Amino acid sequence: MIAFLAVTLVVGGCAEEGAAPENGEEVEDEGPLEDKDVLVFGGARSLTGPLAIQDEACFGPIYRMWAEEVNARGGIYVEEYGKQLPVELLVYDDTSDMGTMTRLLEKLMVEDEVDFLLAPISTAFLHAAAPIANEHGYLLMGAEGGAKELEPMMASLPYFFSVLNYATHQIPALVDMLVENGVESVAIIFIADQHGIEYSGDTIPVLEMNGIDVAFSKSVPLGIDDMSALINEAKAADVDAVLCYAYPDENFLLVGQSIEMDFNPDLMLFGPGVCFEVFYQIFGPATEGIMGWGAWNEKSSPEAAELTQKLIEHEGGRNIDWWGHVPYYASLQILEQAIEMSGTIDHAVLKDVIATEKFDTVMGEVWFEHGGIPAECYLGQIGQWQNGIFEVVAPADQATAEPIIPKPAWPGQ
């Protein structure tokens, strides 16, 4: 039996959506539609398995907090129903298995007939889910996962919107920083899935164009438990920087083994996990100088500071993702505003509103171009742990601190 978790914030029935006017023609006002008491947001997400940490630390805290906030103020006002509708969450556990995720996604749309979808976890899962949602005419606002491989498909996926900044936005900022700080050689380690393949494939040609030597680029399997051989290879190559495009478990392993083996190149940058507050809670002073994707912090804007405090209160501590929490929250603000602007929950109408309007969010003013958010809308692209704060260090015009290169030695070494 497929394991699942149904999270219910408000109990209520769902009814078929009302039809929206077509071709600009006026239709007679028949009054509020009936039998709609709640908006159900359904998701097939990794509540167990190797991707579960991302629901615990990434989009999970955001969509749960947002739903509670919406319900506390009475719901989302939908003009075609003439009232505010509270939010209910229906979340199934895909057990970090892609086949399970796609089956559950179909179930949510076909059997459960949820009103809206929550995105699955990881670039590869998002890549698989977007065409399925599009086929059924369901909006899919991305969450944990970059969408570079979806860029050529965007024209045929009008219901999909990429939310998180990813390689297209981040690699140029990274390479500019490497060049500016005299980095001449790098070793690349990447997870053997869509995320790692995308980032490594995007990085190598740009590094080579800028005269930076790639000593090696090697993939590792999900769940690897020993990276000592790769560390020794990078040591032997005497590289200036190590770039690790993997997931939290692999990134945490590489950091821990690098400390044990006293491997300390001038620059170390990792993928998801390093941007989590829990990374600092685990490694403490050893985080000093380590870089990761992102980025934002309380100094980025008053709205970012307010979101931080709300998350601390909601989570009972600093369970914060300094990469994704701002764009994830912004995506839900965008959807809510689109519903209120259009007065409908008709996805065919909403997709056009989201594609063409501008929205006031925790990121500031945000809009979409070709299905994705432009780089200038984000609060930062690269962060670095400095004195317990994940500072924005690139691009320079959004930095909250100067990058520390070379990174300090490991504590006690």
Closest CA to 331 of 313, 350, 317, 310: 350
Containing 42, the helix (H) or strand (E) segment is strand 39-45
The pLDDT of residue 31: 53
Q: How high is the pLDDT of residue 13?
A: 35
Is residue 88 within 8 A of residue 115, CB to CB? The reply is: no
Sign, Cα dihedral of 275, 280, 281, 282? positive
The predicted pLDDT at position 146 comes to 78
- Per DSSP, the three-state class of 383 is strand
pLDDT on residue 149: 74
* Positions in the chain whose pLDDT score sits under 70: 1-34, 147, 413
Give tens-digit pLDDT for 159-210: 999 999 999 999 999 999 999 999 999 999 999 888 888 899 999 999 999 9
Question: What would the two tokens of residue 335 be?
Answer: 């959807």
Separation of alpha carbons 137 and 402, rounded Å: 45
> Pairing state of beta strands 359-361 and 364-366?
antiparallel
Contacts of 83 (CB under 8 A, 6+ apart): 32, 75, 77
Tens digits of per-residue pLDDT, 397-406? 999 999 999 9
Contact between 206 and 173 under an 8 Å Cβ cutoff? The reply is: no
- Cα dihedral 152, 155, 159, 162, rounded to 10, equals 40
What's the pLDDT score for residue 4? 42
Using CA atoms, how far residue 88 sits from 32, 120, 138, 257, in Å, is 21, 17, 17, 43
Q: What does the pLDDT read at residue 30?
A: 52
CA distance 4 to 122: 19
| Phi–psi pair at 327, nearest 5 degrees | -65, -35
C-alpha span between 367 and 370 (Å, rounded)? 10
- CB-based contacts of 9: which residues, under 8 Å, 6+ apart? 67, 68, 71, 86, 87, 88, 89
User: Residue 76 has which token pair?
Assistant: 């989302």
Quick one: pLDDT at residue 173?
Answer: 96
DSSP state of 83: E
Residue owning tokens 């690790």: 244
Instruction: Kindly state the tokens that stand for 258.
Output: 């690098």
CA nearest neighbour of 128 among 150, 95, 158:
150
CA diameter of the chain = 76
- DSSP labels, 109-163: HHTS--SEEE--SSHHHHHHHHHHHHHTT--EE--SS--GGGGGGGGG-TTEEB-
